[in-house]
Amino acid sequence: MKKTSFLPVVLFVLFTVGCQGPQFSSEPLGEVDYAKAFRAGRTVLSQYFSIESADAESGKIISRPKAVDAARDRLLGTTPARKVAQMRIRQKGDMVFADVQVYIQRQDVAAIRQMQPVTVDNDVPNRTPADEAAAVTTEQNQAWETTGRDYQLEQKILADLFRALKKGK
């Protein structure tokens, strides 16, 4: 029998999949005017979230956090939850694309803090006082942990944007 090593396969998966940043849900909007797509994106996202910032030059639209009801967690119990969204309108050649991420976050509790990795750093500290729970205001002491994404809402926002652009033609 020949022995097979899975190490190359595991390393390939880790380096190609595991090292990528967070992915957006994406939708090609077609050959539409970028400014029109950005305005429509802002309008559609504002139907779901309050808008914190929108920059037409970079194409980024960022929402304010929105409080939501969260299911009781086995480890965390009931902690406050919220959703935060960001949309990016980008142009590649003649095509315009919309990318959306909706993060689900839970307020940090001792259980989450205890699950954080323990690191030893004798050189340069890489954590700020706020990371160490040494903030000066109550709002700064609130730490929110991203626990997942709402892919269904991302797809709904993209579908609404696509419909809004088709209706506006």
- Give pLDDT tens digits for 103-158: 998 886 555 555 556 665 555 666 665 565 555 566 655 678 888 899 999 999 99
The pLDDT-based confidence of 97 (bands split at 50, 70, 90) is very high
Render pLDDT for 2-39 as a digit per residue (tens, 0 to 9): 554 544 444 444 444 444 445 888 888 989 999 999 99
Give which of 157, 145, 134, 160 is closest to 65, Cα–Cα: 145
Q: What are phi and psi of 160, to 5 degrees?
A: -65, -40
d(CA 158, CA 109) in angstroms, rounded, equals 33
d(CA 92, CA 102): 23
pLDDT of residue 157: 96
* DSSP secondary structure code for residue 85 in this structure: E
Set out the domains of the chain in order of their start, with CATH numbers. 22-107+144-167 (3.30.530.50)
Query: Which residues have a Cβ under 8 Å from the Cβ of 155 and sit 6 or more positions away?
Result: 25
pLDDT above 80: residue 160: yes
Which letter does DSSP use for residue 129 in this model? Answer: T
